[in-house]
Amino acid sequence: MQAEKSGGPLAVTRVITAGVIGIAATLFILFLAAVLLSGEILPASWLGACPYAALFIGGLGCGVCSARCPKRLYGALGGALLMAACFLLVGFFFVKTAFSPVAAAVACIVCLVSAILGSVITSLFR
């Protein structure tokens, strides 16, 4: 019980788990959006909003899954930073992709704000 209050390896594991769940949720929403866009169920004008909506939903999932961390808000922010770092690293590996610092900053802000929102929602309904 004392190890849970002070943090330690268990807290780090929970933060990493929240980040991985957020990444998985983001990738699932991106796949779903790709299927809906290719089947012309969603109009083509949604193409620019789908990645940010997927990041927002993934960040919410990350914030909700960090509820078991000793410090929920810090767990949510850590998981969201892990999400953002993973997606930025994947973006750097594709050399044919044009990197936009503004889009990267917006993606980080969307991840962090949605994780904070997920943590606050979890705290409200506890």
Q: What is the pLDDT of residues 14-52, one digit of tens each?
A: 888 989 999 999 999 999 999 998 988 888 888 888 888
CA distance 92 to 19: 19
Grade residue 95 by pLDDT with cuts at 50, 70 and 90. Answer: low
Closest C-alpha to 113, from 62, 47, 46: 62
Residue 113, H or E segment: helix 101-124
Do 111 and 80 form a contact (C-beta atoms < 8 A)? yes
pLDDT exceeds cutoff 90 at 66: no
Do 63 and 114 form a contact (C-beta atoms < 8 A)? yes
